[in-house]
Chains A and B, each alone.
Chain A
Amino acid sequence: MLSRVAENLYWMARYIERAEDTARLLSVNSHLMLDLPGRLPLGWAPLIEMTGSLEAFTARHTDFDERNVVHFLCADTDNDISIISALASARENLRTTRDVVPREIWEEVNQLYLSVADHAENGVSPRRRDSFLKSVIRGCQTLTGLIEGTLSHGPARTFIELGRQLERADMTTRIVDVRSASLLPQNPEELLPFENLQWMSVLKSLTAYQMYRQQVRLRVRGPDVLRFLLQDPNLPRSIACSLETLGHELSLLPRQDRPAATVSLVRADVVDADIQALAHSPSKLHLFIDELQIGFAAIHDTLSATYFVNDDSVPRVTQTQTQSQSQSQSHAGDNDND
């Protein structure tokens, strides 16, 4: 399989997962805000930090108010990480590689993008937000189901799965991070009465509440939830489960030694984590999540070096540059004797 095609599929899957998980992230925060009494100094600014887009945000807005943040993360086409941009990128990535996946998958990506483009602006309002975010999540899940149910078990599917699992692990850590230092008051006295409520909303945003009840059979408690989301081997959105799947998919590819070793290292960090300590210290948890994300970046780098770029002497330009330049050139070069 061509490296470019593999890379496009990998990124398509990452973008789809990112759109879904950004919707989940906004959803968990919206519910927290509704559930918690106004005197708690929670806000929307941490979401911007968590998604790593502080600079892009402050370039456009001065107020970290609800409307600005939600609009920025849902509907801002100039923001690369917004839901609308992620879906647009997914679509562009698939467009050049349409011939390697069943047509229905292309049509679904296309349709999802178009429908979100139609509704994103309205979806920002508090009244419509919940149903908008749900529709994004459902659309992404439909696509995942379609891939699962129709795409042959070959390299195309492997690279899609690599992208999805890595992005999912990354985004699950960000959602867990909502519950960490940056969002919560440092004074445990103030926090206590609402703690369970908040963990419950994190579980719900990952569609993991019922699974948690079945698995743990206890009332919702911080350390148990954290262990469940980080280490449970069976929950599809737990970090351990994503890394496990990632490792398995890698074993299907040639030349997988370096990326596989990197995955193993990060997985060991997750499995060996001291959950009790993390659960009781928001700052420790935040630090731990930072480390995990550095690990995810390392996994991406080795994947990229192994499969996507196989000649270091040839400089590569970023995707957006290539696209805009080749747009003008391929028209100029279009002497197709039509």
Chain B
Amino acid sequence: MSQVNWNNYACRDYYDELMAAPGQPRESAGELCNMLARFSADELAERKTAAEIAIRTMGITFTVYSEGAMIDRAWPFDIVPRIIPASEWRKTEAGLKQRVQALNLFIDDLYHDQKVIKDKVLPAEVLAQSVNFRPQCVGINPPHGVWAHVCGSDLVRDGDGTLYVLEDNLRIPSGVSYMLENRNVTKRVLPELFASGKILPVDDYVAQLYDMLAAMSPRPGDDPQVVVLTPGIYNSAYFEHAYLAQQMGVELVQGSDLLVDDDDVVYMRTVEGLRRVDVIYRRVDDEFLDPEAFNPESMLGVAGLMRAWRAGKVALANAPGAGVADDKVVYAFVPALIRYYLDQEPLIPNVPSYLCMFEDDRRYVLDHLDELVVKPANESGGYGMLIGPRSTKETREEFARLITANPRNYMAQPTLALSTTPTLANGLAQPRHVDLRPFILSGPEIHVTTGGLTRVALIEGSLVVNSSQGGGSKDTWIVETDDKAAAAAVKGA
């Protein structure tokens, strides 16, 4: 007896990624939904167990750091993929490229002429109070003018089906290893559906990442020495750091493995002696990167790294200072930045935002705290947010105080009716809210991942998808609905 009955799937309240209405799968999801409906309860449970075993044997973990203890947890994963039609994805991809291009021009401008301020597109006070603007980076010219080499933009779909950019992560965005591993697990669990060739592959990301990094080398022509710099095993993303280094076939280094000599060259300590390093994919935050330039207490970084970078002897990805655009107040200006730098209309809209630094907006926010989501400008991982409709009177009062004391640091958005997608819970397919984090690589060319990392709130009704807050994830399929295009893709591969 089958377990999943799409006629009982309650998707009326939100836009659902797979189901147009109860019993009616969207075109791109038809095959998947039919297959799931054919599965008996046993078969469904078997596939779920197979995924759990695969995750355990493949050692896909993430680290939770809480109250002084560090725990490696198995990656929470749902076997039902989320599907986006290829035709829609192509537009999204173009929009993401446009966005990252503008952001890179913007960052470069901020560290040089600051025309965007002189032309009054961005208020001077936004920059003046930016915590991620690094004066140490003024005047530096990174290769290709690119600062945010790896960008993870979060996309959400609202009730009417429109995709919005929710935020841009330009510091050291994580999650791409899970996107790749989710696909590997799903291939083992639902192999039947991959035969048709309609699901676009994701696994060229690591090769593109390597090529992008190698293209930044200050010593062109030579076989460049690329490394991944990690804060170490206690970092929550250590799994990803090790994974990417391993997949690219480069060394995974810690700060203590590197040194900068008087010649401003970065070396790594190997058993053969010192060896020159050309490109560092750093997964250590700006403030910890170089005790000479930033936090002098840091033991995670490399003394003199900024000196080497400024001298052009080493390339850093992402460039220090790129985080200036990873600010939820700057976010609100991105559509204007796209018009300003590219003279184009934004292809993907922003979520409407209220900036507490502006008096009218602030008054509106303070009057509507129970309806809005309030975010601090520079937190990550879902920390320090107020979700108005779920909040208590005390927390609203607390946020009112915080906003009044430091208006520049807060912005607010309407509570979105995030889209849902079928997710297994108690052996049944139930709607759960999702977002999507595609990764955009910027080098000589710009590449967008095919889809991205879909994060899902595993708890019924919850809107919180961050893995550090108990969210899970699922594979994301970009599906070619046009048979001719699919056939061509199979032939090409």
Contact = CB atoms under 8 A, between A and B. Distances in A.
Q: Do A and B bind each other?
A: yes
A2 B237 contact: no
A100 to B, nearest CB: 9
Given A335-B171, A337-B174, A311 B274 contact: yes
A253 to B, nearest CB: 7
Given A4-B254, A314-B259, A333 B175 contact: no
A144 B335 CA distance: 61
B87 to A, nearest CB: 29
B468 interface: yes
A4 B252 CA distance: 11
Given A330-B300, A333-B287, A254 B272 contact: yes
Given A333-B287, A336-B237, A99 B380 contact: no
Nearest to A325: B299
Interface residues on B, range: 35 or more
**B173, B245, B273 pick with most chain A CB within 10 angstroms:** B273
B297 to A, nearest CB: 8
A96 B172 CA distance: 21
Given A2-B257, A96-B232, A96-B233, A326 B300 contact: yes
Tell me whether chain B's interface is mostly helix, strand or loop, or mixed: loop
Contacts of B297: 329
Given A2-B268, A310-B274, A338-B381, A330 B256 contact: no
Nearest to B62: A338
B467 interface: yes
A307 B269 CA distance: 9
B231 A333 contact: yes
Contacts of B236: 334, 336, 338
A337 B172 contact: yes
A215 B86 CA distance: 75
B283 A2 contact: no
B234 A338 contact: no
Contacts of B284: 333
Given A3-B271, A99-B246, A335 B175 contact: no
Given A2-B270, A336-B174, A337-B171, A327 B234 contact: yes
A217 interface: no
Contacts, number: 119
B274 A334 contact: no
Contact of B466 (A1, A311, A338): A338
Given A329-B300, A337-B172, A337-B381, A311 B259 contact: yes
Contacts of A322: 256, 299
A335 B298 contact: no
Interface in B285-319: 285, 287-288, 297-300
Contacts of A310: 269-270, 273-274
Nearest to A103: B59
B290 to A, nearest CB: 12
A98 interface: yes
Given A310-B269, A338-B381, A333 B256 contact: no
Interface string B165-179: 000010111110000
Contacts of B270: 1-3, 310
A160 to B, nearest CB: 13
Contacts of B283: 336
Nearest to A338: B381
A226 interface: no
A330 to B, nearest CB: 4
Nearest to A107: B59
Contacts of A1: 270-271
Given A333-B298, A338-B381, 10 more contacts: A99-B245, A310-B274, A329-B288, A330-B235, A331-B234, A333-B300, A334-B231, A334-B285, A336-B381, A338-B467
